[in-house]
Amino acid sequence: MKERIILNTREINKTLERMTFEILEHTSDINSMALIGIQRRGVDLASRIQSIIEKRTQQKVRLGKLDINLYRDDWTNLASAPIINNTEITFSITGKDLILVDDVLFTGRTVRSALEALIDFGRPRSIKLLVLIDRGHRELPIHADFIGKKVNTSLSEKVDVLLMERDGKDKVQLTEDD
């Protein structure tokens, strides 16, 4: 198996800082904004971005956690039952400007599921998508508004995002079976 590091710890931190500044440039009212992390690693990234924004602006930013497993279009085809994580959105999203955060954008199906799940919580004013890695190969007409790094991949390759909170280290790697 071939492995190539796409982002190391320092590069992940720099990328999150840059994307946070982009968010702040495009956000006129932080009080109307909320970050929604897609379980699991999207939540970790959203939490880091929340910390950066709060440190820079001295303002609190709402953070929600979204589980999309019951909204997947393939869950009935999975060999086992989907692993359900928790959804924690303790504030109204109606009228809010949401930043939906995920680790990797691939086919777009996870984002489609997240959009469907969010609508069950209310009607936000806007939803923008932030992803750490955009690897292409979209099956749905979905694009990210904030992209950490665009990586051209083949369908035989896999992008793994490892984060300190979950994996004990930070790195993004591209792997391909020989």
What is the domain class of 9-71+84-153 according to CATH? alpha beta
**pLDDT value at position 83?**
62
Alpha-helical segments (H) within the chain: 9-25, 41-57, 109-119, 164-167
Strands in the chain per DSSP E: 2-7, 33-38, 62-66, 97-105, 126-134, 146-150, 157-162, 171-176
**pLDDT value at position 71?**
77
| This prediction's pTM | 0.93
Question: Which of the residues in the chain have pLDDT under 50?
Answer: none
Q: How many CA atoms lie within 13 A of 29 on its CB side?
A: 7
**pLDDT value at position 117?**
95
DSSP 73: S
- For residue 166, CA distances in Å to 50, 102, 126, 142, 148 come to 18, 14, 30, 27, 20
**pLDDT value at position 74?**
60
Q: How many CA atoms lie within 13 A of 177 on its CB side?
A: 2
pLDDT digits (tens, 9 = 90+) for 51-81: 999 999 999 999 999 999 887 666 555 555 5
**pLDDT value at position 69?**
86
